[in-house]
């Protein structure tokens, strides 16, 4: 199941969102059972599915809505870099996905992130 999510921000503008691997992750702070940790090898924030109780606290805390409960496995899931070799990068037919650092501040609400992205696109087109 894809860990990239697409949200409609307003008519005609859908934006793909993925975890920003925050420096100070709100999902980690919110988890009552310490099921979310930074992977030492990949540095991705990752969920330990064996510990997760699917309480949903992390999904509420994440400013990007990038972590969610799997509909059948009943555990929280999020982008974990696929162990360091992301499947989305390999499978996107438009080659629209790259693996690189984001210039955005993931602590901002999604609406502000969308505005910042629109400004960046307009600037690039000048």
For the record, the structure tokens of 109 come out as 């609400």
Among 66, 77, 81, 113, which residue interacts with ligand SF4 (rule: CB under 6 A)? 66
Regarding 21 and contact with ligand SF4 (CB under 6 A), the answer is yes
For the record, the structure tokens of 21 come out as 């691997």
Of the pair 75, 89, the CB lying nearest ligand SF4 is at: 75
Regarding 56 and contact with ligand SF4 (CB under 6 A), the answer is yes
Is residue 21 within 8 A of residue 67, CB to CB? The reply is no
Regarding 78 and contact with ligand SF4 (CB under 6 A), the answer is yes
Cα distance between residue 75 and residue 60, in whole Å: 14
Regarding 44 and contact with ligand SF4 (CB under 6 A), the answer is no
Nearest to 88 by CA among 8, 1, 23: 1
Regarding 33 and contact with ligand SF4 (CB under 6 A), the answer is yes
What is the SS3 assignment for 45?
strand
**Binding piece for ligand SF4, criterion CB under 6 A, among 1-9, 33-41, 80-88, 91-99:** 33-41
Distances (CA, A) of 11 to 7, 115, 118, 120: 11, 14, 14, 19
Contacts with ligand SF4 by CB under 6 A lie at 19-22, 25-27, 30-31, 33, 35-36, 45, 47, 52-58, 62, 64, 66-67, 76, 78, 106
């Amino acid at each position: 199941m894809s860990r990239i999510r697409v949200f409609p921000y307003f008519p005609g503008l859908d934006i793909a969102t993925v975890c920003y691997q925050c420096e100070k992750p709100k999902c980690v702070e919110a988890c009552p059972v310490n099921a979310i940790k930074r992977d030492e090898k990949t540095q991705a924030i990752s969920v330990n599915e064996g510990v997760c109780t699917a309480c949903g606290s992390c999904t509420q805390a994440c400013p990007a809505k990038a972590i969610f409960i799997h509909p059948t496995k009943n555990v929280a899931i999020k982008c974990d870099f696929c162990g360091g070799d992301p499947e989305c990068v390999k499978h996107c037919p438009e080659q629209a996905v790259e693996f690189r650092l984001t210039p955005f501040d993931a602590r901002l609400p999604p609406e502000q992130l969308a505005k910042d992205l629109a400004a960046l696109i307009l600037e690039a087109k000048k």
